[in-house]
Amino acid sequence: MQGREELLLMSKNKKGKAKKQLVSDKKQYVMKLVLSDTCAVCKTPCDRGMDYLARMSRPGAVGKGVPCILTRKKL
């Protein structure tokens, strides 16, 4: 019978817990993908963009872009 009593006590304790913050309630940001030609003419170069530009400068390199921190917007 002790097992049943423990289960009842455990279920009663759950009532006082605070709700967790949902992922949808947190701030979310979106950044645009830019290609190496955009990074090459950027007025404020960043490390991520310069690394991407260096990789794409090699012959035969294929890339899909890099997220640009300067185009970050809130959702």
Q: Please write the tens of the pLDDT for every residue from 41-71.
A: 999 999 999 999 999 999 999 999 999 999 9
Which residues does 15 contact at the CB level (< 8 Å), separation at least 6?
none
Residue 39's closest CA among 11, 66, 9? 66
Query: pLDDT tens, 28-47?
Result: 999 999 999 999 999 999 99
Which pTM was predicted? 0.61
From CA 60, how far away is CA 40, in angstroms rounded? 18
